[in-house]
Amino acid sequence: MKGICELYKIETELKESHIFPKFVVNYHKRTGSKYFRTALEPNKRRQDAIKLYLLSEKAEQEFSIREKWFAENIFHPFHKGKKELTYTKDLYYFTISFLWRSLILNSKMDDLKSKWYYPKLMTAEKEWRQYLTDGIYPKTCNNNFLYFTHYVGDNTTGIDKVYSYLLRTMDSTIISSTNDESTLIIYGKFNQFMFWSVLKDESSNLPPMDCAISSLGGKFSIPQRFDYQTLNAFLGNRIKGINSLAIPSEEQEKKILAEVMKNPKEWLESDAGKAIFKYDGK
């Protein structure tokens, strides 16, 4: 379909673009259910994750270079047990490309023009787009972070399905303070990778530096410290909110069970099975 490429702002043939990288979607299918269910539509099974007519062929190819780098240098090595992960500037690019798409997705899903943070969102969108297209380092929206989620012991939070969320759920949202105008974060996660960019927050609240992504490259040592109270509070509320939504219908539960029973041992040892039964089932 013809339209305006959100990245290059030119009229062209648009591709149906994944918000979450395609290799992540494929891994999700391979290590659990081959279907997707969103938190807002638990009774609807999708065979693919969220896609939008968003980018030109040129933009898709540009993003795919960094997605391939992330898959080969971060994603798969982490899942194979590597705890020291060296990265280049490609991670900074990949992170901004993912969070930029998350920003665009949330802008299309909701009318944000009346929100107090809308001007700052537009600043982030412009700065990130300039970085992605011309390599101009973001002047103000440059605090980007990555946390690797993993099993750290029994869930003592009192909140159900914590590991199901941390290890499996794909999510994308804008985190903002409601009582004042002190906090604004663009957030996105898939599998065991939690990304966020702090657009506004008190400096004393900023997360530990071992989660920070340098635009020049660096190294992550896992496990990381995670002491960011703003995000901790968000995660607790987010998981409780998802848990409070409608559960799958009886018919859908039967379909889920039938899928599991095709090979119950394999499913229980999959990432999805471990998250639901081995970790959250304790």
Separation of alpha carbons 260 and 252, rounded Å: 12
User: Who has greater pLDDT, 247 or 138?
Assistant: 138
Coil, strand or helix at 80: coil
Total-model pTM: 0.85
Residue 253: pLDDT over 50? yes
Residue 84 vs residues 122, 218, 219, 220: alpha-carbon distances, Å: 35, 11, 7, 6
Residue 226 has a pLDDT of: 83
Residue 225 has a pLDDT of: 87
Q: Give pLDDT tens digits for 11-45.
A: 999 999 989 999 998 898 888 666 555 554 544 55
By DSSP bridging, strand 2-4 and strand 36-38 are unpaired
User: Who has greater pLDDT, 259 or 138?
Assistant: 138
User: Who has greater pLDDT, 110 or 85?
Assistant: 85
- Residue-averaged pLDDT of the chain: 84
Domain range summary for the chain, segments of one domain joined by +: 61-279
> What percentage of the chain exceeds 90 in pLDDT?
56
pLDDT band at 260 (very low <50, low <70, confident <90, very high): very low
Residue 54 has a pLDDT of: 95
Task: Tell me what the mean pLDDT of segment 257-261 comes to.
Answer: 51
Task: Tell me what the mean pLDDT of segment 197-219 comes to.
Answer: 87
Task: Tell me what the mean pLDDT of segment 115-121 comes to.
Answer: 96
DSSP at 136: P
Residue 247: pLDDT over 90? no
Residue type, 85: L
Residue 153: pLDDT over 90? no
